[in-house]
Structure 1
Amino acid sequence: MNLSDKIELLIKKKQMSSSQFADVLGIPRSSISHILSGRNKPSLDVVQKILTAFPEVSAEDLLFEDRTLSVLATKLPTTPSAQEILPLTNLFDAPNDTASESIKNNLPESTIVRSNLRRSTKEVNLGSSQTSNDSILENVPT
């Protein structure tokens, strides 16, 4: 069995189309088509990509004509269904009963900003160049 036949057998055992096989290897689909039709022989690059993508395939089994290709049939993983994805779409959504601080406390936004500014200016001590709270608060819109 030659290398092209072994590649065709590998594709069948993996239950893939030749296009899927080319995509997995990262090579043009036409390259696989030409290999399977016998027009071209696989390059060393293609063989290396096969061995990398399918580590269960031994280089000896793939390359030597007197060896048979022993590969277990495994399907490609399928994409998850919409039912599997849907619960994940709400993963980072906030619960509906939470509201912003201004809504919870029934306070206008400017009051909260003023409160936070007062708190931050008390925490920051700039030594001799202290800025008064009033000068900072004058610039806050009401």
Structure 2
Amino acid sequence: MNLSAKIELLIQAKKLSASQFADTLGIPRSSISHILSGRNKPSLDVVQKILIAFPEIPAEELLDDKRDLSISVPSPKIAPTPTASTPSLFDAPTPSAPESPRNILPEQTIVQSNLRRPRESSSKTPQPVVAAPSSTAHLAKKIERVLIFYTDGTFTESKPQ
């Protein structure tokens, strides 16, 4: 029995889905899919992770094609699946390393405070924008600031001089 077939047998014996098995090992789900379909052979890293996650499986049985896999029933160490209590990407994170001293508030607070801010300050009198030739129409708008949001929850803010 080859290694891919033994992995499939292990998944069935532990009553796991391929996704749960991949999550248990901490590897991409596509890796298990490719192994089970025969597209790829398991790497040394995958074999090591199987042996760590399932210590009851002898390495010799797993690796030797001439030996059958004897599987006992203890449950594996399954990684927790996301639940409602797990924070999502859109929860207001506490920035871990602000890029500037001004960026110490969570993004949600900054965005909400900016939404409440009036567009024009009361000291300025609003100037009506008059239709002008296209070469001067862009002069009516100026960039106030540029925000760049990063995937780790931090951001940078730039204002023109």
* Count of residue correspondences: 79
Greater helix share, 1 or 2?
1
Task: In structure 1, list runs of 5 or more residues that go unmatched.
Answer: 80-142
SS of the equivalent of 1:19 reads: helix
Q: Residue 53 of structure 1 corresponds to which residue in structure 2?
A: 53
Percent identity (aligned): 70
Larger radius of gyration: 1
Trace 1:119-130 onto structure 2 (pairs within 5 A): none
2-structure distance, mates of 1:8, 1:15: 11
- Give the CA deviation at 1:22: 0.1
Q: Residue 34 of structure 1 corresponds to which residue in structure 2?
A: 34
Q: Residue 3 of structure 1 corresponds to which residue in structure 2?
A: 3
Tell me the amino acid that sits aligned with residue 68 of structure 1.
D
1-structure distance, mates of 2:11, 2:65: 18
- Give the CA deviation at 1:72: 1.6
Task: In structure 2, list runs of 5 or more residues that go unmatched.
Answer: 81-161
CA contact (8 A) 1:15 1:73 kept: no
2-structure distance, mates of 1:26, 1:66: 28
Task: Kindly provide the CA deviation profile for residues 100-141 of structure 1, in whole angstroms up to 9, marking residues without a partner as x.
Answer: xxxxxxxxxxxxxxxxxxxxxxxxxxxxxxxxxxxxxxxxxx
| Structure 1 residues 2 and 17: alpha-carbon distance in aligned structure 2, compared to 1, 3 A threshold | same
CA contact (8 A) 1:13 1:74 kept: no
Q: Residue 95 of structure 2 corresponds to which residue in structure 1?
A: none
In angstroms, what is the RMSD of aligned CA positions? 1.8
Q: Residue 99 of structure 1 corresponds to which residue in structure 2?
A: none
| TM-score after normalising by structure 1 | 0.52
Q: Residue 15 of structure 2 corresponds to which residue in structure 1?
A: 15
